[in-house]
């Protein structure tokens, strides 16, 4: 629906569409995780199709990080390309539009940070009440009705990894070899498989097993 709205706008303004770039399912938090966005910026920098405008449905679809948004807008302007946020009624070709973009991008980032703080506060409150705040349960535990319960077999493996690693002259590879040599296996995708160094390292690096929640 958003893309169709942009096509209608382009037709109304007699603009020829040079290309469509869509990062489906990608967060606008950072441009680094948005390949289509990066491709668009590269095409603009290379002069491909002599692009004059970038149309977006709303400013939040262009980016949600104020620093990234302002930097990207400046890059567009450096190549004589203007940003138009159709739904917001913003056009960077005008002085008022550039000022509005700067203000809105900053406000959007503040709102996103407030949501993050509220989310983390909710997670903390749930943990203080003895619940699990979400996400996969750590190895050695099961999530049952929002609370963690110990899975004895897996918990014993966690204890063994820590205990063996603390022994003199024990390296991580030696610990893993000891586990596998003693017939220990973990279930991966429904099938038993040997332990490996990466798995053991994740256990040792996980602050949860030290009583810390991050």
Same domain, 111 and 19: yes
Residue 135 lies in a domain: no
Phi, psi (degrees; rounded to nearest 5) at 172: -60, -45
Residue 194 lies in a domain: yes
Same domain, 79 and 51: yes
Same domain, 67 and 163: no
Kindly report, residue by residue over 168-205, the tens digit of the pLDDT.
888 999 999 999 999 999 887 778 899 999 999 999 99
Residue 115 lies in a domain: yes
Same domain, 176 and 119: no
- pLDDT for the residue numbered 213: 67
184 close to 170: Cβ distance less than 8 angstroms: no
Residue 81 lies in a domain: yes
Same domain, 11 and 85: yes
Q: How many domains does the chain have?
A: 2
- pTM greater than 0.95 (yes/no): no
**Six token digits for residue 21:** 């770039």
Q: What angle do CA 75, 76, 79 make, to 5 degrees?
A: 90
Residue 197 lies in a domain: yes
Q: What is the CATH number of the domain that holds 101?
A: 3.40.50.1390
132 close to 148: Cβ distance less than 8 angstroms: yes
pLDDT over 80 (residue 12): yes
Residue 69 lies in a domain: yes
Residue 132 lies in a domain: no
pLDDT band (50, 70, 90) for residue 83: very high
Same domain, 109 and 172: no
- pLDDT for the residue numbered 28: 54
Domain that holds residue 162: 141-210
Residue 58 lies in a domain: yes
């Amino acid at each position: 629906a958003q893309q169709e709205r942009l096509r209608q706008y382009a037709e109304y303004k007699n603009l020829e569409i040079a290309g469509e770039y869509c990062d489906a399912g990608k967060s606008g938090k950072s441009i680094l995780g948005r390949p289509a966005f990066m491709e668009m910026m590269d095409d603009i920098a290379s002069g491909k199709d002599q692009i004059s405008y970038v149309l977006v449905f709303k400013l939040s679809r262009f980016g949600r990080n104020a620093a990234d948004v302002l930097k990207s807008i400046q890059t567009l302007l450096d190549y004589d390309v203007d940003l138009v946020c159709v739904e917001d009624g913003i056009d960077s070709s005008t002085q008022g539009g550039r000022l509005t973009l700067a203000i809105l991008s900053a406000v959007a980032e503040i709102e996103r940070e407030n949501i993050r703080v509220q989310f983390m506060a909710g997670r903390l409150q749930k943990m203080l009440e003895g619940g699990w705040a979400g996400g996969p349960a750590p190895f050695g535990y099961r999530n049952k009705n929002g609370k963690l319960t110990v899975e004895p077999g897996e918990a014993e493996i966690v204890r063994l990894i820590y205990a063996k690693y603390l022994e003199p002259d024990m390296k991580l590879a030696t610990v893993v070899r000891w586990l596998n040599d003693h017939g220990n296996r973990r279930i991966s995708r429904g099938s038993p498989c040997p332990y490996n160094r990466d798995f053991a390292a994740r256990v040792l690096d996980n602050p949860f097993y030290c009583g810390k929640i991050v």
